[in-house]
Amino acid sequence: MDFSQQVYQQNQTVWQESIHHPFIKKLSDGSMTLPTFRYYLIQDHYYLRDFARIHELAADASQDQAVKTLLQELANSLHDGEIATRKTFFKELGISQQDVVNTPIAPTTYAYTSHMYRTLTQAGAPAAIAGLLPCAWLYADVGASLQGVTSPVPIFQAWIDSYQSDDYTGPVAKQIKLTDQVARQTDATGRDAMTKAFSRSAYYERDFWQMALDHQDWQ
């Protein structure tokens, strides 16, 4: 069994909790408040900035040219895809740079991104690559789980649609394949580090939803 399928199966409890989280239900049925969605988008702005950067740093740290190239391609895809979509959402909701400044990075966002930086610096590029995968894969699964669902709030539906498009799912498939390739080239100790990185990221993905519903702060 490929590494990706092993860790995917090992983390199904938290994975399903993410897919069926009240945050996703509120998006799909339209009951989420716009202030909550705005808060989520700002925190996701912080997250995606570091997420893209870690792709670039992992590319720099990798010794494999093919891995370097694909990681940079995935980083570029983020800038052209999710990050660009967020800018559109910001414009539609009137979220300004000052709004971002006035909304500090939340504890869970900080912990999640710190985990990924720490993984890269302490366990190396293979573990970092595994730690990056849950975000991309989970959002694709959320999109798949909402096939046929139409949110009554257009911007919520636009969010859902963005994770069902081929432009999103295509790079996710490449990221899964990359993770398996790296796992095959890594020794047992390295694969253990990859497993831990994947599991911890999956844990933080679930908590990111709850953070948004709670409008989490440092108080």
For the record, the structure tokens of 57 come out as 């740093």
**CA distances for 185 relative to 62, 72, 173, 191, 194, angstroms:** 12, 19, 19, 9, 12
Fold of 18-214: Heme Oxygenase; Chain A (1.20.910)
5 in Cβ contact with 196 (< 8 Å)? no
Mean pLDDT, the chain, whole residue set: 94
Q: Please tell me the total number of residues recorded for the chain in this structure.
A: 219
**168 vs 181: CA distance, rounded Å:** 20
Confidence of residue 51 (pLDDT cuts 50, 70, 90): very high
Q: Closest Cα partner for 69 from 212, 181, 218, 150?
A: 181
Residue 87 has pLDDT above 90, yes or no: no
pLDDT > 70 fraction of the chain, expressed in percent and rounded: 97
Mean pLDDT of 107-118: 98
Given a cut of 70, is residue 54 above it in pLDDT? yes
d(CA 163, CA 183): 26
pLDDT at 40: 97
Domain range annotation of the chain: 18-214
State how far Cα 137 lies from the chain centre. Answer: 8
Q: How far apart, in whole angstroms, are the C-alpha atoms of residue 23 and residue 57? A: 31
Question: Is pLDDT of 81 > 70?
Answer: no
Give mean pLDDT, residues 12-34.
98
Q: What is the pLDDT of residue 70?
A: 81
Stated pTM of the model: 0.94
pLDDT of residue 80: 67
* pLDDT value of position 62: 85
pLDDT confidence band for 91 (50 / 70 / 90):
very high
Give 151-207 pLDDT, tens digit per residue: 999 999 999 999 998 989 999 999 999 999 999 999 999 999 999 999 999 999 999
* Higher pLDDT among residues 78 and 116, named by residue: 116
Q: Given a cut of 80, is residue 147 above it in pLDDT?
A: yes
